[in-house]
């Protein structure tokens, strides 16, 4: 969190985490395309030639003015592929809240779990833990066949009993609800620590 009193700005960092191809960039693209352009910056994407996220995607949102302050949310995605472990660690620095984008397809559960464990390891290195940190789960790709039932997704991934949003990000379903849940989590946590 960064507060700039002179500009009356409250800056918060939210990171979209999850395995490769789970839909993290798709979430940001939908937000970018569905917000008043005066309230957002450019969507910065650092991609490989194969259109996969190489380093991160970045989008800044402003949400009005509240009690004299301008909240600014800096949204980042991480590269989901396993071999970009160091990039993920770097992007997590200074994070205030996390959206974990899980792929609901049955054959992707192992990748979801690997990514969640990777996230927990990185948080622990930074003196944090999923048990004590504001994060939300997005069960993405609910519109595809062979999705696991929500109860099974919860049993495997939601050990912290965090908010869950069902989504089909490519169609925009659940994307804004996820962001709102994440923002609530971050603001709630900030209120707890001050």
Catalog residues that contact other proteins under the rule CB under 8 A. 1-7, 10-11, 13, 34-36, 39, 41-42, 44, 55-56, 58, 60, 63-64, 66-69, 71-72, 74, 76, 86-87, 89-91, 93-94, 96, 126-128, 132-133, 176-177, 180, 183-184, 187-194
| DSSP per position, 39-106 | GB---EEEE-TTS-EEEEEEEEEE---BTTBEEEEEEEE---SGGGHHHHHHHHTT--EEEEEEE-BG
Residue with Cβ nearer other proteins (81 or 87): 87
Pairing of strands 70-77, 9-17: parallel
Residue with Cβ nearer other proteins (61 or 153): 61
Q: Which residue has the tokens 């969507």?
A: 43
Write down the least CB distance from residue 84 to other proteins, Å. Answer: 11
Residue with Cβ nearer other proteins (91 or 137): 91
Cα angle at 67 between 61 and 69, to 5 degrees? 40
Residue with Cβ nearer other proteins (17 or 76): 76
Round to whole Å and give the CA distance between 7 and 117: 38
- Going by C-alpha positions, the residue among 188, 190, 140, 128 that lies closest to residue 164 is 140
Write down the least CB distance from residue 17 to other proteins, Å. Answer: 16
Write down the least CB distance from residue 146 to other proteins, Å. Answer: 30
Residue with Cβ nearer other proteins (47 or 132): 132
Residues pairing with 38 in the sheet: none
Write down the least CB distance from residue 107 to other proteins, Å. Answer: 32
């Amino acid at each position: 969190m960064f507060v700039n009193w002179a500009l009356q700005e409250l800056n918060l960092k939210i990171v979209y985490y999850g395995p490769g191809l789970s839909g993290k960039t798709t979430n940001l693209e939908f937000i970018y395309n569905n917000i008043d352009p005066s309230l957002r910056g450019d969507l910065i994407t650092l991609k490989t030639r194969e259109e996969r996220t190489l380093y991160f995607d970045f989008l800044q949102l402003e949400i009005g003015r509240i009690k004299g302050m301008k909240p600014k949310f800096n949204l980042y995605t991480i590269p989901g592929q396993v071999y970009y472990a160091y990039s993920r660690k770097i992007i997590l620095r200074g994070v205030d809240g996390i959206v974990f984008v899980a792929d609901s397809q049955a054959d992707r559960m192992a990748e979801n779990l690997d990514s969640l464990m990777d996230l927990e390891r990185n948080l622990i290195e930074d003196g944090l833990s999923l048990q004590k940190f504001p994060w939300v789960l997005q069960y993405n790709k609910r519109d595809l066949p062979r999705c696991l039932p929500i109860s099974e997704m919860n049993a495997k991934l939601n050990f912290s009993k965090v908010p869950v949003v069902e989504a089909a990000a490519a169609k925009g379903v659940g994307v804004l609800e996820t962001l709102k849940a994440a923002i609530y989590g971050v603001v709630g946590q900030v209120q707890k620590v001050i």
